[in-house]
Chain A
Amino acid sequence: MNLLLTLILATLNLFQTGQQQDQKARQGLYAITNARIETVSDGTIENGTVLIEGDRIVAVGENVVIPASATIIDGTGLRVYPGMIDSGTQLALTEVGSVQETNDTNEVGDVTPHMDALTAVNPNAVAIPITRVAGITTVITEPGGGLLPGLAAMINLFGYTPEQMQAGGVKLLVLQFPTKPRAGGGFRRFGGGERPDPDKAYNNALDKLNEIWDRAELYDRIVTEYTASPAGKTQPVYAPEMDAIRPVIRGDRKLMLKVSAEKDILAALDWVKERELTNVVFSGVSEGWRVADKLAEAGIACIVGPILATPTRSSDRYDRAYANVGMLVEAGVKVAIRTGEGDNVRNLPFNAGFAAAYGLGKEAALRAVTLGPAEIFGIDADYGSISVGKKANLFISDGDPFETSTNILALFIDGFNVPIESRQIDLYREFLNRDEGRLTPVEVLPADH
């Protein structure tokens, strides 16, 4: 019997009530029984039950009373994990990289902080099912391009509209921090031609950022005062860009500061301190290990990744990018892991696996894709672990989800039992034995060969 058939049967066997597995995701009353539950928040329950009702986890434990009307999923030999969170992607904002019409990440202009990525999220992006069948239930999807490209949004990977997908109301202002000149190429041609002054471009960018921020701070004062007592005052000017930045200045909205190089991180730390911003998270941070002590001291959480990348410098140790996040944690930095992907976000667990192997450890790695980001983004009341009262974002696997040999067998997002289906799985089904349904023979190669 081929393995696919085994897989299908295995999935069917999960439903003891004999209910047909259909393609429709449904909420309801589910009991996952006899499973090993990795709660993340409260350790491992070797043999327990998770009870899901509506969009919430209503019970977790070894002795859970299972209502008679519950759909039972026998988790014997299986494991339950919180749905994984990728804290930095472009998922659902892009479809085919080289086809510009399908890419909604980069708007024209350097200063577009009001561009709201959530608006452009395509709930029908082909990559969404492909991603969630790996056990990833939630991602942050980011705009890109200029200095202030827009607002990133946190979305669950199930929903028919962007609003349905929105998770925890999380929106972040993205700032691509100006980068100091990078290393030039080629060293054998000495005496080469003139280069435009690289430092000048950097200083201009930094000046621009500061100019924007100064105005935003002024705008904040104006609007605050006007809102407090509008009587007799002219209305503040229409500045949607500033409206987007204002919550950040007031501390109500998190700033996602994208920065990677050592010197840039130091400059960013200074800038954040100067501007007295406390609701900040750094993203990228590929050279974070070099200044881990300063990041820890500043108490700034870091979204690190992609882990599966080459070192940032040719003089660096070959595994530096794998070890980076572990080194940050060791120094006391709070972390989450990101892939930065648009269509292969499904590799998040493998990024986490490599981080685990190269110093982070399995437990911290799991936390960095579950409760860690939930805490960082302030949604840990609803996300990030298998705990009573939290959203039913979880999956069932037959092993460690970071291992490639593990299969994800069932998936819950917002309490919906989302089928393990995707276009790529469909193609597998159809083409594994393409000519299985054929009775009339046909020449596989044209007759003249």
Chain B
Amino acid sequence: MFHTFHRCRTYLTLLASALLILAATPFDALAQKDSPDIPTVSNVVAIQGVRIIQAPGRVIESGTVVFRDGVIEAVGRRVDIPYDASVIDGSDLSVYAGFIDALTNVGVPEPKQQTGAPPSVPDRSNPTFERAGITPEKDVRVLLDPSDKSVGAHRKIGFTTVHTVPYGRMLPGMTAIALLTGDDAASMIYSDATATMFKFQGARGVYPGTPMAIMAKFRQLYKEADRRNHLESMYREDPVGMVRPPYDPVHSAFIPVIEGDQRVFAFTDDALEIHRALNLKEELGIDMVLTGLSAGFDAIDRISETAVPVALTLGVPEKPKWAAKIKKDSLDQILGSYTDDTRTATFRDVEAERRNLEAKQLISRARYLGMPAAYEEAGIAFAFTSYGVKTSEIRSNLREFIEGGLSEDAALAALTTNAADLLGLSASMGTVEEGKIANLIVTAGDLFDKETKIKFVFVDGHKYEIKSPSKSDDKDKDKDEDERRDKDR
């Protein structure tokens, strides 16, 4: 017993010291998800004296946010803090609603990249659905993995909710809303079978490979599914004497779309794909959401007219190599000497031609960077999608959009309130308001500033402390960081 008592004493000393330390420090490290062996002592968190951006344009300069069991209990300038709350001192901090990604693969482990020749098929004109990249029946829920690197990487930059979809080609499958938290797939899932995804990526080596075949195949599946739907309802009404309607999961996956119960999220990678997707929408009467819209500045008018919901890409074109080395004032000089009417008459004009081409390229790049601003100006509400974009580049891309004219309010809206609207989540997400889910970003400074560090992210009330990376985050070389790219592309 002697040694037990001795150890008992050591333990008590340690506990006493710990308590003292804890009492002294304002931060409660106990609820950190990265230390699951430490028991939780409180389900209530209060962030006190913090700047609260409830929604774009709605700011409480200094107030308190209280949330319990993952639901926001109170938000305001003066709020009673429950006795059992673990309190976070919010001085010099700001709190925002967590970001919502309108379409992504985050949470789905990336399949191994296929190299070499595509696997052979007996008849490439008539491959299996799987081989053709047509898997609309695939459910993302069974593929989710909260320990996948992409989850942490996305969360680290402020995303709390994702609308995620399986990897795939033309029809990758059904999407789900997932929260970037949880110990298992089931705990991530917020809602199911939200939508189905479509993109213009053809099958490798078999039908359909080209965009025109993809469109023809889509129409074919849709129309045949429509026929089967009709047959199925006839059969349900009265099966007597009727041949059993044919069935396969692929065609059946279209029926909710035909009935108007499920939307199609179409991903477009250039201006032409936007028109093509909209043509399909109009032709077949599909309830469609457009995502991506890279180079969508040329289609603003049509998008405005059709009033189709949109989620713009968070990606920007790579900076041209020559521009990377040049200082900003030289770039301004180049733009200054730009003329629309290039005439290169002889070898003597080659120098001037080059400068003009450089200016043209900068102007072209500016169009891409200015696209969200252009949509804002056109009065089109949009969300953002990180589909196909490296997570490590998202924050710096956002800054470029803002430099390109996008207001910070619109940027925030795109990542929060607009995204929630788009996905039908406004009742529970998108703002820092009583009753909503505790999906929050806590920053030391203005969210979109280059220098600002994100201190905490709360997902469903669970706290994640964000350790600051060694360099500024647009050159993040952190090995754990998630290379979110659709490798199939």
Residues of A near any B CB (own CB < 8 A):
187-192, 289-293, 315-317, 327, 330-331
- In the complex, how many angstroms separate the beta carbon of B79 from the nearest chain A beta carbon? 44
Q: When the two chains form their complex, are residues B270 and A192 in contact, meaning their CB atoms are under 8 A apart?
A: no
Q: When the two chains form their complex, are residues B295 and A191 in contact, meaning their CB atoms are under 8 A apart?
A: no
Contacts of A327 in B (CB 8 A): 346-347
Per-residue interface assignment for chain B, residues 366 to 406, with 1 indicating a CB less than 8 Å from any chain A CB and 0 otherwise: 00000000000000000000001110000000000000000
Q: When the two chains form their complex, are residues A190 and B318 in contact, meaning their CB atoms are under 8 A apart?
A: yes
List which B319-347 residues lie within 8 A (CB) of chain A. 342, 344, 346-347
- Across the A-B interface, the 10 shortest Cβ-Cβ residue pairs: A188-B270, A292-B347, A190-B317, A290-B350, A293-B347, A190-B318, A290-B347, A188-B269, A315-B357, A191-B485
With A188-B295, A189-B269 given, is the CB distance from A292 to B346 under 8 Å?
yes
Nearest to B390 among chain A residues (CB) is A191
List which B260-297 residues lie within 8 A (CB) of chain A. 269-270, 294-295
Nearest to A316 among chain B residues (CB) is B344
What would 27 A/B residue contacts be, using CB atoms closer than 8 Å?
A187-B317, A188-B269, A188-B270, A188-B294, A188-B295, A189-B269, A190-B315, A190-B316, A190-B317, A190-B318, A191-B315, A191-B388, A191-B389, A191-B390, A191-B485, A289-B346, A289-B347, A290-B350, A291-B347, A292-B347, A293-B347, A293-B348, A315-B357, A317-B344, A330-B346, A331-B346, A331-B347
List which B40-95 residues lie within 8 A (CB) of chain A. none
Contacts of B346 in A (CB 8 A): 289, 292, 327, 330-331
Nearest to A262 among chain B residues (CB) is B350
B489 within 8 A of A: yes
- In the complex, how many angstroms separate the beta carbon of B347 from the nearest chain A beta carbon? 5
Contacts of B318 in A (CB 8 A): 190-191
Q: How far does the alpha carbon of A189 sit from the alpha carbon of B316 in the complex, in Å?
A: 10
Q: How far does the alpha carbon of A188 sit from the alpha carbon of B346 in the complex, in Å?
A: 32
Given contacts A188-B269, A191-B389, A331-B347, list 8 more A-B pairs with CB under 8 A: A187-B317, A188-B295, A190-B316, A191-B315, A191-B485, A192-B489, A292-B346, A315-B360
Q: How far does the alpha carbon of A330 sit from the alpha carbon of B347 in the complex, in Å?
A: 11
Interface of B is mostly: loop
Q: When the two chains form their complex, are residues B489 and A189 in contact, meaning their CB atoms are under 8 A apart?
A: yes
Q: How far does the alpha carbon of A65 sit from the alpha carbon of B287 in the complex, in Å?
A: 92
Q: How far does the alpha carbon of A75 sit from the alpha carbon of B471 in the complex, in Å?
A: 86
Q: How far does the alpha carbon of A292 sit from the alpha carbon of B345 in the complex, in Å?
A: 12
- In the complex, how many angstroms separate the beta carbon of B64 from the nearest chain A beta carbon? 42
Contacts of A290 in B (CB 8 A): 347, 350
Contacts of A289 in B (CB 8 A): 346-347
Q: How far does the alpha carbon of A429 sit from the alpha carbon of B325 in the complex, in Å?
A: 67
Q: How far does the alpha carbon of A289 sit from the alpha carbon of B348 in the complex, in Å?
A: 10
- In the complex, how many angstroms separate the beta carbon of A317 from the nearest chain B beta carbon? 7
Nearest to A327 among chain B residues (CB) is B346
Contacts of B347 in A (CB 8 A): 289-293, 327, 331
Q: How far does the alpha carbon of A263 sit from the alpha carbon of B311 in the complex, in Å?
A: 43
Q: How far does the alpha carbon of A45 sit from the alpha carbon of B173 in the complex, in Å?
A: 81
Nearest to B348 among chain A residues (CB) is A293
Q: How far does the alpha carbon of A293 sit from the alpha carbon of B351 in the complex, in Å?
A: 14
List which B215-270 residues lie within 8 A (CB) of chain A. 269-270
- In the complex, how many angstroms separate the beta carbon of B316 from the nearest chain A beta carbon? 8
- In the complex, how many angstroms separate the beta carbon of B312 from the nearest chain A beta carbon? 15
Q: How far does the alpha carbon of A190 sit from the alpha carbon of B316 in the complex, in Å?
A: 8
Nearest to A291 among chain B residues (CB) is B347
Nearest to A328 among chain B residues (CB) is B347
Q: How far does the alpha carbon of A316 sit from the alpha carbon of B348 in the complex, in Å?
A: 15
Contacts of B485 in A (CB 8 A): 191
Nearest to B360 among chain A residues (CB) is A315
Contacts of A189 in B (CB 8 A): 269, 489
Nearest to A317 among chain B residues (CB) is B344
- In the complex, how many angstroms separate the beta carbon of B485 from the nearest chain A beta carbon? 6
Contacts of B360 in A (CB 8 A): 315
Q: How far does the alpha carbon of A331 sit from the alpha carbon of B348 in the complex, in Å?
A: 11
Q: How far does the alpha carbon of A315 sit from the alpha carbon of B357 in the complex, in Å?
A: 8
- In the complex, how many angstroms separate the beta carbon of A42 from the nearest chain B beta carbon? 32
Q: How far does the alpha carbon of A389 sit from the alpha carbon of B441 in the complex, in Å?
A: 94
- In the complex, how many angstroms separate the beta carbon of A293 from the nearest chain B beta carbon? 5
Q: How far does the alpha carbon of A141 sit from the alpha carbon of B389 in the complex, in Å?
A: 52
- In the complex, how many angstroms separate the beta carbon of B350 from the nearest chain A beta carbon? 5
- In the complex, how many angstroms separate the beta carbon of A282 from the nearest chain B beta carbon? 15
Q: How far does the alpha carbon of A188 sit from the alpha carbon of B298 in the complex, in Å?
A: 14
Q: How far does the alpha carbon of A94 sit from the alpha carbon of B455 in the complex, in Å?
A: 72
Nearest to B271 among chain A residues (CB) is A188
- In the complex, how many angstroms separate the beta carbon of A331 from the nearest chain B beta carbon? 7
Q: How far does the alpha carbon of A388 sit from the alpha carbon of B318 in the complex, in Å?
A: 66
Nearest to B347 among chain A residues (CB) is A292
Contacts of B353 in A (CB 8 A): 315
Q: How far does the alpha carbon of A291 sit from the alpha carbon of B295 in the complex, in Å?
A: 35
Q: How far does the alpha carbon of A189 sit from the alpha carbon of B318 in the complex, in Å?
A: 10
Q: How far does the alpha carbon of A191 sit from the alpha carbon of B315 in the complex, in Å?
A: 9
- In the complex, how many angstroms separate the beta carbon of A242 from the nearest chain B beta carbon? 37
- In the complex, how many angstroms separate the beta carbon of A180 from the nearest chain B beta carbon? 14
Contacts of B344 in A (CB 8 A): 316-317
Nearest to A320 among chain B residues (CB) is B344
- In the complex, how many angstroms separate the beta carbon of A446 from the nearest chain B beta carbon? 32
Q: How far does the alpha carbon of A142 sit from the alpha carbon of B350 in the complex, in Å?
A: 32
Q: How far does the alpha carbon of A187 sit from the alpha carbon of B365 in the complex, in Å?
A: 12
Q: How far does the alpha carbon of A411 sit from the alpha carbon of B344 in the complex, in Å?
A: 42
Nearest to B353 among chain A residues (CB) is A315
- In the complex, how many angstroms separate the beta carbon of A184 from the nearest chain B beta carbon? 12
Q: How far does the alpha carbon of A328 sit from the alpha carbon of B353 in the complex, in Å?
A: 18
Most buried by B among A188, A189, A292: A188
- In the complex, how many angstroms separate the beta carbon of A4 from the nearest chain B beta carbon? 45
Nearest to B486 among chain A residues (CB) is A191
Contacts of B342 in A (CB 8 A): 315
Most buried by A among B344, B389, B485: B344
Contacts of B316 in A (CB 8 A): 190
- In the complex, how many angstroms separate the beta carbon of B242 from the nearest chain A beta carbon? 43
Q: How far does the alpha carbon of A327 sit from the alpha carbon of B344 in the complex, in Å?
A: 12
Most buried by B among A189, A190, A289, A327: A190
Q: How far does the alpha carbon of A293 sit from the alpha carbon of B350 in the complex, in Å?
A: 12
Nearest to B357 among chain A residues (CB) is A315
- In the complex, how many angstroms separate the beta carbon of B333 from the nearest chain A beta carbon? 20
- In the complex, how many angstroms separate the beta carbon of B405 from the nearest chain A beta carbon? 20
- In the complex, how many angstroms separate the beta carbon of B290 from the nearest chain A beta carbon? 16
- In the complex, how many angstroms separate the beta carbon of B4 from the nearest chain A beta carbon? 61
Q: How far does the alpha carbon of A330 sit from the alpha carbon of B318 in the complex, in Å?
A: 40
- In the complex, how many angstroms separate the beta carbon of B114 from the nearest chain A beta carbon? 12
Most buried by A among B317, B318, B350, B389: B350
- In the complex, how many angstroms separate the beta carbon of A107 from the nearest chain B beta carbon? 29
Contacts of A330 in B (CB 8 A): 346
- In the complex, how many angstroms separate the beta carbon of A131 from the nearest chain B beta carbon? 34
- In the complex, how many angstroms separate the beta carbon of B391 from the nearest chain A beta carbon? 12
Contacts of A192 in B (CB 8 A): 489
Nearest to A295 among chain B residues (CB) is B347
Q: How far does the alpha carbon of A327 sit from the alpha carbon of B315 in the complex, in Å?
A: 43
- In the complex, how many angstroms separate the beta carbon of A298 from the nearest chain B beta carbon? 14
Most buried by A among B294, B317, B346: B346
Q: How far does the alpha carbon of A331 sit from the alpha carbon of B347 in the complex, in Å?
A: 9
Q: How far does the alpha carbon of A46 sit from the alpha carbon of B67 in the complex, in Å?
A: 104
List which B432-475 residues lie within 8 A (CB) of chain A. none
Contacts of A317 in B (CB 8 A): 344
Q: How far does the alpha carbon of A190 sit from the alpha carbon of B269 in the complex, in Å?
A: 10
Contacts of B348 in A (CB 8 A): 293
Q: How far does the alpha carbon of A190 sit from the alpha carbon of B400 in the complex, in Å?
A: 16
- In the complex, how many angstroms separate the beta carbon of A77 from the nearest chain B beta carbon? 41
Q: How far does the alpha carbon of A290 sit from the alpha carbon of B353 in the complex, in Å?
A: 11
Contacts of A190 in B (CB 8 A): 315-318
Q: How far does the alpha carbon of A315 sit from the alpha carbon of B349 in the complex, in Å?
A: 14
- In the complex, how many angstroms separate the beta carbon of B320 from the nearest chain A beta carbon? 10
Q: How far does the alpha carbon of A317 sit from the alpha carbon of B345 in the complex, in Å?
A: 9
Q: How far does the alpha carbon of A189 sit from the alpha carbon of B388 in the complex, in Å?
A: 10
Contacts of A292 in B (CB 8 A): 346-347
- In the complex, how many angstroms separate the beta carbon of A385 from the nearest chain B beta carbon? 30
Q: How far does the alpha carbon of A20 sit from the alpha carbon of B390 in the complex, in Å?
A: 81
